[in-house]
Amino acid sequence: MNSHIKEYLKRCKDNKPLIVSILLVIPVLVFFALGTQNKEEKKTMKLNTLTPEEERVIVHKGTEKPFSGAYYNLKTEGFYTCKQCDAPLYRSTDKFDSGCGWPSFDDEIPGAVKRIPDADGMRTEIRCATCDAHLGHVFSGEKFTAKNTRHCVNSISLNFIPIEKTERAILASGCFWGTEFYFQEKRGVLQTRVGYTGGHTKNPSYKDVCSGATGHAEAAEVIFDPSKVSYEDLVKLFFETHDPTQMNRQGPDVGEQYRSEIFYLDEKQKETAQKLMDILKTGGYNVATRLTKASTFWKAEDYHQDYYLKKNGTPYCHIYTKRF
């Protein structure tokens, strides 16, 4: 708890007087006491039905024959997800040909894979961090790539989603650490990045944006599988994980860069977002969220990416509130 409060105050330091930050610690303490709804949802998630052969590998830790899997030699750009729960596991950019007979990756999507000492006492098993599905084994020291790591994965444990079948959303709701956190937890979301958009400065730094002179908002870019989650569902989650009535601030973070804004990529997204905003207004919410055509999304510095996954923490100013 102490580490979360220190992080909270550090984040507030450049944005408002310390006395206000201290006063706002109280709701943060309440939030951590309540826990995180998304983690509870994971415990009761619905798993996909498996064939007997899939169950042999995924549940009973079997192995498919080498060179027999559907994805062993696949070179198409896209995302590999868990066959049992649809969680994103690997990107095609991390796939390489090791010649071993199974799909090989030298990196995983952050937080997607967990390592367990194998029963044979020699190898390290890899499982889906979301549903515990058996994927294969991980090896190091083989020097196949610069990362010196090989995830040896059964094709049968995976599904593949080509990049052309994915869609993109860009949303800003205050501190982008918290915005990204909730989207990473959403089933059907394949990749997230945090960055800056909506302003007039090219390739801004965090310091530039914090100065308030760039016009940019802190935002999250979300790549998702529309067959698993709709754009409307994502915008609903956006509205339910921050306060859309606040103008140029979110919780303790104050400034135009912390505004609530939806950056639509086409007219369909614009219509969907406007419909949900109208529903909220009809329900009595004084919505301050802006609706703007998307422009260049500038990726933020690496230390901002996957922030809460790296810290194993939860947001200090984004709290889930049912609104639809």
**How far apart are alpha carbons 220 and 222 in whole angstroms?**
6
- Amino acid found at 102: W
Q: Which amino acid, residue 126?
A: I
Q: Of 230, 228, 193, 173, which Cα lies nearest the Cα of 309? A: 193
Tokens of 26: 């109280």
Is 85 part of the annotated catalytic residue set?
no
Q: Spell out the SS3 assignment of the chain.
A: CHHHHHHHHHHHHCCCCHHHHHHCHHHHHHHHHHCCHHHHHHHCCCCCCCCHHHHHHHCCCCCCCCCCCCCCCCCCCEEEEECCCCCEEEEHHHEECCCCCCCEECCCCCCCEEEEECCCCCCEEEEECCCCCEEEEEEECCCCCCCCEEEEECHHHEEEEEHHHCEEEEEEECCHHHHHHHHHCCCCEEEEEEEEECCCCCCCCHHHHHCCCCCCEEEEEEEECCCCCCHHHHHHHHHHCCCCCCCCEECCEECHHHCEEEEECCHHHHHHHHHHHHHHHHCCCCCCCEEEECCCCEECCHHHCCHHHHHCCCCCCCCCCCCC
Marked catalytic residue, from 12, 82, 152, 317: 152
Cα 281 to Cα 97, 121, 232, 238, 291, distances in angstroms: 53, 60, 17, 15, 14
Token digits of residue 195: 């960055």
Helices 176-184/231-240 angle, 10° precision:
130
Active site (annotated) includes residue 131: no
Query: Catalytic residue among 128, 175, 210, 317, which?
Result: 175
Catalytic residues: 152, 175
